[in-house]
């Protein structure tokens, strides 16, 4: 997701990302990286991972407050982007499992995070 914004003055701005439906009780099932950039310059990367005490990650996805960052931005017209870092297309060296994502009805958002518009 990208949007254009005219920052009225130079300074530190808070950027908050909202994910769709995941705060309604669903959890991220695997590791994802969510990148925030301003004018194609990376300013922050969030690590989204399943909740749990066994996770070694320090930026574990737990609450919406975790998806906020403060960024220095110069005044003027800027493009702000939030995107998931592409995972490899290579096949894992393991036994192939059936595709577990259901059809496009109902709870399809429970299997991967989505950025809200």
pTM of the model: 0.66
The tally of CA atoms less than 13 A away on the side-chain side of residue 83 is 14
Biggest CA–CA distance in the chain, Å, is 54
Q: What pLDDT does residue 78 have?
A: 96
Q: Say if 91 falls within a structural domain.
A: no
Low-confidence ranges of the chain (pLDDT < 50): 22-24, 58, 60-64, 103, 105, 108-109
Q: Say if 94 falls within a structural domain.
A: no
Interior CA angle at 13 toward 8 and 18, to 5°?
A: 115
CA-to-CA distance for 30 and 13, rounded, in angstroms? 30
Q: Say if 96 falls within a structural domain.
A: no
For residue 37, give its domain range.
2-86+105-110
How many folded domains does the chain comprise?
1
Q: Say if 18 falls within a structural domain.
A: yes
């Amino acid at each position: 997701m990208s949007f254009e914004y005219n920052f009225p003055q130079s300074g530190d701005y808070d950027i908050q990302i909202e994910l769709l439906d995941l705060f309604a009780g669903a959890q991220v099932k695997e590791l994802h990286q969510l990148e925030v950039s301003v004018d194609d310059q990376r300013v922050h990367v969030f690590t989204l991972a399943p909740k749990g005490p066994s996770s070694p990650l320090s930026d574990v996805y737990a609450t919406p407050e975790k998806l906020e960052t403060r960024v220095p931005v110069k005044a003027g017209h800027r493009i702000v982007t939030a995107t998931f870092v592409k995972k490899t297309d290579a096949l894992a060296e393991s036994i192939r499992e059936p595709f577990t994502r259901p059809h496009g009805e109902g709870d399809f958002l429970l299997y991967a995070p989505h950025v809200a518009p």
